[in-house]
Structure 1
Amino acid sequence: MESKTHVVPQLELRGSSYEIGQQHGKHLAPQILDQLAIYRELFQETCKFDWAHVRTIAEEFRGAIGQLAPHLLQEMEGIADGLLTHAQQHGKTVDVLDIIALNARSEIALGQWDDGCTSLAWRIRAPGSERQVLGQNWDWRETVGKNLAMVSIEQEGKPKIWMVTEPGIVGKIGFNSSSVGVLLNAIRARPISTSLLPIHCLLRISLESESVDSAISTIEKLGGAASSQHILIADTHKAQGLELSPRGGVYLPEDANGIVVHTNHFLENKLVDEPPWLSGSPVRLARAKEICSELIQELGADRGLEEGIDARLLRARFFSDTFNSPQAICCSPDPMRLARIQTLFNIVMTFGEGREASAEVVFGKPGSKEESEVFRMPW
């Protein structure tokens, strides 16, 4: 589908785990090869890791994924096989370890990468109705923006999934037909454990769940996350911020207004070694809370919030905010830093009892006049 500035693939994947991966790899082969080139350069630039070393760590994660989530390893094998013909035609050699490296990129980087992202969950209660809004700006290297894709995944016995993802990655930001949605904030902290699942695998497993509680239960049974990350997860009835780490997780409840907001530092999880990171993260968090308070005051309680808080308003008032730019909720590249990081897409999901889960997605920086048209999920 084509917008003003973006061509965004929309894939419908279904079948066995391997078949889903094979379709993914075949249809997004050029983008996956480009992603591999981007991450090869990123690992070298920021971590001083050559790709041979990256693959060595990916081999360790292959064992963990194969043991804890074998269906996701089968899907990654399918992705590698699906893009094989295209890769060979372009003189490239790709196998499952390269795909695992993409899915474990956050862990292999040992907490040295500088993602942004601001996430919000808002459970809006009014007399006789209740609605959950879940949204975020996803900030990352601008070179990745051209490769983003929207996918739906149908698997037997599991809810249908819709998500925005980086090609080659099996789990990202989105929701399912049971009205369970997930967002992601990267946290720069240690340790890392190659015996646990990478965060992108846990995002996918959460999207295969029927509720927030069942997702949390599954994550706990699997031992938690291989790296320090924050998943903001919500369903129709509640939201929780999951500050996950190999040393244990801390779960953040909604505040009195039904809100959870998060940026790129842990608020309560003190189990990890978290060095000072993005100076703008606490500023963004405070600004996010301030905007929510302003909206509550302007719209009033009950019916005003119920009718007023939607994707369009949040893009206009929350996700387009440029306070403390370039490290703003709507992120722009910092001229003082080599890494060109900016908001690559915005997603706002809406869940409610008796209604179909849905989302609006805008690629690029919301409010910039250069963003895409609104894409809708399901499509």
Structure 2
Amino acid sequence: MLEVRCSGTPREIGLAHGQQARTQIRGSIAFYRQQFQETCDLDWPAVQDEAERYVAPLTRLAPRHLDEIRGIAEGSGVDFLDVLALNVRTEITFGLFTDGSSTFGVTAAGDGEIPETDGCTSLSWFSGTDQEHQGTSSPKMSSFSYLAQNWDWMPAQRANLVILYIDHTSSSSLPDTHPLPTIATVTEAGLLAKTGLNSAGVGVCLNALRCRGVDRNRLPVHLALRRALECGSRADAVRALRETGLAGCGHILVADAATGGVGLECTSRWVRALGMDDAGRTHHTNHLLLLGREGGDEKDVEDATWLADSRPRLARVKELTAGIMMSDRGAQAEGAPRPSTKSLFEVLSDEQGYPASINRRQELPGVKTETLFTIVMDLATRRAQVTFGRPTEFTEETLLSL
């Protein structure tokens, strides 16, 4: 897997990204040129026009990131609007979709119907320190904070994945009083971020949601992921994303080493927080869990739960993590249940409901996507284990360490 290492000013970071991942960036553009045509009935000039509508808002909301996108374009020798279009790909794909587009819905296969297998499964798991449980009857708790997910998409985009390392420490454009952490993210070439972690112990995952509508005066999803990864804590990341709002829909699971995880269900209208359960876990798949729970008029949000497997998959990942708790209670006479990188990889390797399972496979007619990478982040140690390909038959494994 190509590792892209960038440092310096935003423009210099972008230039390094563009120069080192030139082939993959051009591959991403070719992939989304076809994707947007199929899902939104937009040819590439129309896509560029749509991307241009974000320039003025981003000049206000994220000028550094806009400079970085210009650097990526210059370094890779493509048009600025081509790279900007990649970075608003979630807003286009999941906010401007046309009815009956071939990527979504339920696909007939033989005598039955097979749900399209897009979408990802993510989870966080946290325990506090021993001191929090002193004087109680609870078993001793060892501190940990894990964040994990399968990223599922079309195999044609597999060749355009990169590992992006970003070091802001040499950037003279940032004040010394507010240094940004170092970042490691697995992303599609040309995008500023996707799933990853930083040197402050903050990590993010992303689940696709499908809600019609965009607000171009807010922060696009993939720039929101980058913004979160530039924060020093979960609380700072949540605050930053609430302040800007998101231009489109998506679930961002953000966690840190000190306080654990929170799920942010985002639409172009609002950002809502899904907290941890009593065991310190947060799980998510590809439908809104908080719609209707916080009151107010929500008729402006269309929750198109296009994946029939999203709810069963959510139930399954909860069942599997509960199984870790039960088995560890029997194995640890004195301690509370504790997950591990290995046990979480096993959860994400599950094939119940195959091929539309947590561990997905492009196999049947009409099923277009499969698991392209699996990541388990240990935020306490600032390390992440990543496998590329399905977790049961991966082709490459690497360690991210900050």
Shared fold, TM over 0.5: yes
Q: Is residue 249–residue 269 contact of structure 1 (8 Å, CA) maintained in 2?
A: no
Q: Does 1:102 align with 2:68?
A: no
What residue is the counterpart of 1:325 in the other structure? 354
Q: How does 1:1-379 map to 2 (within 5 A)?
A: 8-84=1-77, 94-111=78-95, 112=97, 115-125=118-128, 127=140, 129-156=142-169, 157-222=179-244, 224-236=245-257, 237-270=259-292, 271=298, 272-300=301-329, 303=335, 305-306=337-338, 309-316=339-346, 318-333=347-362, 335-337=364-366, 340-352=368-380, 356-367=381-392, 370-378=393-401
- DSSP 3-state at the match of 2:143: strand
Deviation at 1:109, TM superposition (A): 2.2
Coordinate RMSD, CA, aligned: 1.6
Seq. identity, %: 37
Distance (whole Å) between structure 2 residues aligned to residue 149 and residue 138 of structure 1:
13
Cα-to-partner distance string for 1:9-41 (whole Å, 9 max, x where unaligned): 112110000000000000100111111111101
Cα-to-partner distance string for 1:269-328 (whole Å, 9 max, x where unaligned): 34421123100000100101111111111111773633xx21222212x01101111111
- DSSP 3-state at the match of 1:25: helix
Distance (whole Å) between structure 2 residues aligned to residue 39 and residue 248 of structure 1:
27
Amino acid in the other structure paired with 1:341 = T
Distance (whole Å) between structure 1 residues aligned to residue 25 and residue 275 of structure 2:
37
Distance (whole Å) between structure 1 residues aligned to residue 205 and residue 38 of structure 2:
27
Q: Is residue 31–residue 167 contact of structure 1 (8 Å, CA) maintained in 2?
A: yes
Q: Is residue 61–residue 197 contact of structure 1 (8 Å, CA) maintained in 2?
A: no
Q: Is residue 124–residue 305 contact of structure 1 (8 Å, CA) maintained in 2?
A: no
Number of matched residues?
Answer: 353
Where does the alignment leave 5 or more consecutive residues of structure 1 unmatched? 1-7, 85-93
- Greater shift, 167-176 or 327-336, is seen at 327-336
Normalising to structure 2: TM-score of the pair?
0.85
Task: Indicate how the Cα distance of structure 1 residues 211 and 9 shifts in structure 2: closer, same or farther if over 3 A, else same.
Answer: same
What residue is the counterpart of 1:5 in the other structure? none
The structure with more radius of gyration:
2
Distance (whole Å) between structure 2 residues aligned to residue 311 and residue 374 of structure 1:
13
Cα-to-partner distance string for 1:83-121 (whole Å, 9 max, x where unaligned): 11xxxxxxxxx2110001000011022433653100010
Amino acid in the other structure paired with 1:119 = S
Deviation at 1:377, TM superposition (A): 0.7
Distance (whole Å) between structure 1 residues aligned to residue 353 and residue 235 of structure 2:
36
- DSSP 3-state at the match of 1:11: strand
Distance (whole Å) between structure 2 residues aligned to residue 198 and residue 313 of structure 1:
33
Task: Indicate how the Cα distance of structure 1 residues 121 and 128 shifts in structure 2: closer, same or farther if over 3 A, else same.
Answer: closer
Q: Is residue 231–residue 241 contact of structure 1 (8 Å, CA) maintained in 2?
A: yes
- Greater shift, 166-175 or 126-135, is seen at 126-135
Deviation at 1:336, TM superposition (A): 3.5
Q: Is residue 182–residue 233 contact of structure 1 (8 Å, CA) maintained in 2?
A: yes
- DSSP 3-state at the match of 1:109: helix
Amino acid in the other structure paired with 1:100 = L
Deviation at 1:228, TM superposition (A): 1.3
Moved runs in structure 1, 4+ residues, more than 3 A? 110-115
Amino acid in the other structure paired with 1:366 = P
Amino acid in the other structure paired with 2:144 = R
Q: Is residue 125–residue 260 contact of structure 2 (8 Å, CA) maintained in 1?
A: no
- DSSP 3-state at the match of 1:305: coil
Distance (whole Å) between structure 1 residues aligned to residue 94 and residue 344 of structure 2:
33
Deviation at 1:334, TM superposition (A): 5.2
Where does the alignment leave 5 or more consecutive residues of structure 2 unmatched? 98-102, 105-117, 131-139, 170-178, 293-297
Deviation at 1:246, TM superposition (A): 1.8
- Greater shift, 53-62 or 103-112, is seen at 103-112
- Greater shift, 199-208 or 128-137, is seen at 128-137
